[in-house]
């Protein structure tokens, strides 16, 4: 079994190196595919498709900025001296390469259960620290498992948009599906089985395919300082400007201000408010400034973190344009309608999982996608007598699944690690296959057995 999986992984890695284009080229190719599909499957003409593309090209600006800030503020926290010391202690716990790979899977998975954005950044930095500390681990494989574990964990995260949205009073579908508490979605047996089943298969995959010592390529020593620069800036107290720059008074002011606002938002809006992106970004910003010696050191860390977000900034508008094509031309509705003709009450959650995964390849934005698809899938579910909570769970897990195919969400991780998609994607595809087999089987079997 081990040899078979290792050979399969090797062939996938070779195939990815030969045929996987740059992530930006991948986004452009998806744009052309969406245009052709809209021409063939809808009554929309070429000029109308271009108009719909343009209408949403800048539609992700707010979310893109939120994502960039969560990446750079997460980097600001992780690069603080006290955090570096803590992570360094963690990465020294494993005694063998296999234990090291398992440790990053557990770390990425558990942190992402709290918040998907935090998990992406923290797992990437854990991988870099692990590569710095050990020369017996393969750095590409380590980064691949960091991203894979964060992806698997994000399906069960309490910060997922769709479960949070349907649990929020006055949400846009409340008149049709009511309020659905989290214990019926992310904490349901159906949802937990898919998430933890995928995590188990991730550990199994690591056990069978992790690189042997002769095939291990560690993180080069000369790259460590670039990936993990230190931010402990000292200033000459002789000048007034340097006294200002080196003073912790400004840290204290921002921490008191940001901490007070964050606490007020949580107390007034409820604990789940801290999972809202703007609130989470404020919390990250406040914690990062608190952990650095002075605000100038923090500003330098944020500048370096921003350099790792270039591809995210570039590509987000293109995925906004693809969303415009899918939604504006009615292509999304056509795709969803196609599954209703072949579905029954027992198979509809499975087909929702499948079609959501397909759409997510083109539009890797779970929140925006759900707002559009919910108005189609929930009436169909109700007509079949299928639980709305089960549909939300199937949607959420399906939406996350193909993040292991489209490399967009890997860009922050790869930016922090200084790698390219082709360096890790053969390993990631193995997890995609395992995740799909486990989650898809559960999405098919649970409704058939009457467990949802």
What tens digit of pLDDT does each residue of 225-268 get? 778 777 776 766 667 788 888 888 999 999 999 999 988 888 88
Question: What was the pLDDT predicted at 141?
Answer: 95
Q: Quick check: 305 pLDDT over 90?
A: no
- pLDDT band, very low/low/confident/very high, at 154 (cuts 50, 70, 90): very high
Each as own residue / partner, the long-range contacts of residues 386-389 (CB below 8 Å, 24 or more positions apart, any chain) are: 386/345, 386/348, 386/349, 386/447, 387/184, 387/452, 388/166, 388/177, 388/178, 388/180, 389/180, 389/184, 389/185, 389/188, 389/452
d(CA 358, CA 356): 5
Chain segment 265-301, per-residue pLDDT in tens: 888 877 776 677 788 889 889 999 999 988 999 999 9
User: Tokens for 408?
Assistant: 């967009």
Q: What is the CA radius of gyration of the chain?
A: 23
d(CA 140, CA 124): 11
Question: What was the pLDDT predicted at 128?
Answer: 92
Q: What is the pTM of this model?
A: 0.90
Q: Quick check: 2 pLDDT over 70?
A: no
> Any idea which residue has 């769970």 for tokens?
393
Q: Quick check: 30 pLDDT over 80?
A: yes
389 neighbors 185 (Cβ within 8 angstroms):
yes
Question: What was the pLDDT predicted at 67?
Answer: 79
Q: Quick check: 13 pLDDT over 80?
A: no
Question: What was the pLDDT predicted at 122?
Answer: 87
Chain segment 401-451, per-residue pLDDT in tens: 999 999 988 988 998 898 988 889 999 999 999 999 999 999 999 999 999
Question: What was the pLDDT predicted at 226?
Answer: 79
384 neighbors 345 (Cβ within 8 angstroms):
yes
Per DSSP, the residues of 182-208 read GGGTTTSHHHHHHHHHHHHHHHHHHHH
Question: What was the pLDDT predicted at 236?
Answer: 67
Q: Nearest-CA neighbor of 366 among 392, 337, 348, 386?
A: 392
């Amino acid at each position: 079994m081990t040899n078979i999986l290792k050979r399969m992984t090797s062939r996938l890695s070779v195939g990815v190196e030969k045929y996987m284009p740059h992530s930006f080229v991948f986004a452009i190719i998806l744009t052309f595919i969406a245009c052709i599909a809209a021409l063939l499957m809808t009554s929309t003409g070429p000029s109308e498709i271009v108009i719909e593309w343009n209408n949403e090209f800048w539609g992700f600006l707010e979310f893109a900025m939120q994502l960039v800030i969560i990446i750079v503020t997460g980097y600001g926290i992780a690069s603080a001296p006290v955090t570096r010391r803590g992570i360094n202690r963690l990465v020294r716990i494993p005694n063998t390469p296999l234990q090291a790979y398992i440790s990053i899977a557990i770390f990425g998975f558990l942190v992402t259960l709290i918040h998907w954005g935090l998990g992406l950044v923290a797992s990437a930095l854990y991988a870099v620290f692990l590569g710095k500390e050990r020369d017996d681990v393969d750095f590409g494989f380590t980064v691949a498992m960091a991203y894979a574990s964060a992806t698997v964990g994000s399906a069960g995260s309490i910060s997922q948009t769709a479960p949070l949205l349907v649990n929020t009073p006055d949400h846009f579908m409340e008149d049709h599906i009511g309020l659905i508490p989290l214990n019926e979605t992310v904490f349901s047996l159906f949802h937990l089985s898919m998430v933890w089943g995928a995590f188990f298969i991730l550990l199994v995959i690591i056990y069978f395919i992790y690189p042997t010592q002769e095939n291990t390529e560690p993180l080069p020593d000369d790259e460590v300082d670039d990936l993990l620069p230190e931010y402990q800036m000292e200033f000459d107290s002789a000048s007034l400007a340097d006294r200002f720059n080196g003073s912790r008074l400004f840290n204290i002011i921002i921490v008191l201000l940001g901490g007070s606002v964050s606490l007020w938002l949580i107390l007034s809006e409820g604990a789940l408010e801290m999972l809202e992106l703007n609130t989470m970004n404020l919390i990250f910003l406040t914690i990062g400034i608190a952990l650095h010696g002075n605000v100038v050191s923090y500003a330098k860390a944020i500048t370096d973190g921003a350099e790792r977000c270039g591809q995210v900034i570039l590509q987000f508008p293109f995925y906004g344009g693809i969303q415009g094509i899918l939604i504006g031309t009615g292509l999304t509705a056509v795709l969803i309608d196609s599954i209703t003709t072949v579905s029954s009450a027992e198979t509809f959650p499975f087909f929702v999982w499948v079609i959501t995964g397909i759409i997510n390849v083109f539009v890797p934005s779970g929140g925006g996608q759900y707002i559009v698809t919910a108005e189609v899938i929930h009436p169909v579910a109700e007509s079949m007598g299928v639980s709305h909570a089960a549909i939300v769970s199937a949607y959420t897990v399906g939406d996350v699944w193909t993040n292991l195919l489209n490399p967009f969400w890997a860009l922050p991780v790869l930016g922090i690690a200084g790698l390219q998609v082709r360096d890790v994607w053969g390993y990631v595809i193995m997890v995609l296959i395992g995740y799909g087999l486990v989650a898809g089987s559960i999405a098919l079997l649970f409704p058939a057995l009457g467990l949802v």
